Amino acid sequence: MAARIIDDLRTPCLVCIKSIAEANASAMLGRAAQLGCALRPHVKTNKTLEASAIATGGSKRRIAVSTMAEAHFFAAGGFDDILYAVPITRDKVADALKLRSTHEFHVMVDSQEGFRELAAAVSANCAGNSSASPPLDVFVRVDCGYGREGVCPFDAASVDLVRAIASSAGLRFGGLYTHGGHSYDASDAQAVRRIGEAERDSVAALAGALRSAGLPPPIVGVGSTPTCSLPPADLDGVDEMHPGNFIYYDMMQARIGACGTGDMALRVLTRVLGHYPSRGMMLVDLGWTGVSSQGSEHGYGSFVDFPGLRCAKLKQECGEVVAVHGAPPIDFAAHPLGSILMFAPYHACAATQQHTHVHAIANDRRTIVGTWEICKGW
């Protein structure tokens, strides 16, 4: 049977250049080891068993997820040591306990209110259950300056929260976790490294206070893809890094210097639908449903192989492609109707969310070497 090639695919569709993803994983695993940390890839970017296995170096252990759908998907797919890396609410506790009965599974809180809700839900779910079950590991989310969620690392109330977790029946303190999400807004590598230093210092400070209180954290974790790609000189006091986007990278990461365009593994394939020379425009079958609407001010991404082209506008199922300002006019003959263009998305996480599968392709950029299911839902 002849090998499948990208011409066989219906567009728009998502493809991953497998060798680049493998190189990205190898580089991040090596960087983590050099800094004395374990790597806990956040799999919400790729949402596939195959890419996540690559990200873990083949171990299929120690991952972070953002949805219970992902938690069940990866647990069923042979992964273990899974952290649900957003504050948990009562409706998800039964899922967490079910996962904890068969896997090493951890949840997260970032407030006394959240802890009380969790403790009450665990108690209610375990009432009348005479079979012994392991305690549920609970991480505490720390705010390192992002300002979105997390406890203050310098507040005595944060120590009180950990003490309450450690003394609660059915729960066990799992560690500290922070995410410098504001690194995505950094203007250059120096700014990214400053945020990485703040990540490190915030969790190290709280970890020190907890040790003084007799509550040593089993795990101290930091990480966003920018701060793990451009890390501080040291991560003293840190045990884990948990980036996610690094397995694919994207134009957003390239803009802030976290990667080069050659490190971007993900593409959305689109076909040319129409030529409109009088308007200097081509129509393609790539709309915001195929790549997301993020990065509109940056052309939603880049035609890496044809840097003179840009997406000027995306509608639901179609996109308008024009020449970059200052570039020569579009060579319509070079892009006949039905021909395929490869588009590197501005944000790989958002583009992945738009699809149900990603096709792994070889270095020739044509041969399909695998089709990977993307976990959907929450």
Same domain, 351 and 238: no
**Do 306 and 227 have their domain in common?**
no
2 within a domain of the structure (yes/no): no
Q: Is the pLDDT assigned to residue 6 strictly greater than 60?
A: yes
Taking only the tens place, the pLDDT of each residue in 99-151 is 999 999 999 999 999 999 999 999 988 776 656 678 999 999 999 999 999 99
DSSP string spanning 210-237?
Answer: HHHTT---S-EEE--HHHHHS--S--TT
Residues 212 and 139 in one domain: yes
pTM, 2 dp: 0.96
Cα of 272 vs its chain's centroid, Å: 30
Task: Quote the domain boundaries for residue 162.
Answer: 35-247
Is 254 a domain residue? Answer: no
Residues 178-212: tens digit of each pLDDT: 999 999 999 899 999 999 999 999 999 999 999 99
pLDDT in tens, 153-176: 999 999 999 999 999 999 999 999
Residue 349: which CATH number? 2.40.37.20
Question: Domain total for the chain?
Answer: 2
Which residue among 222, 247, 272 closes a domain?
A: 247
CATH code at position 231 = 3.20.20.10
Q: Which residue has the tokens 């005479």?
A: 130
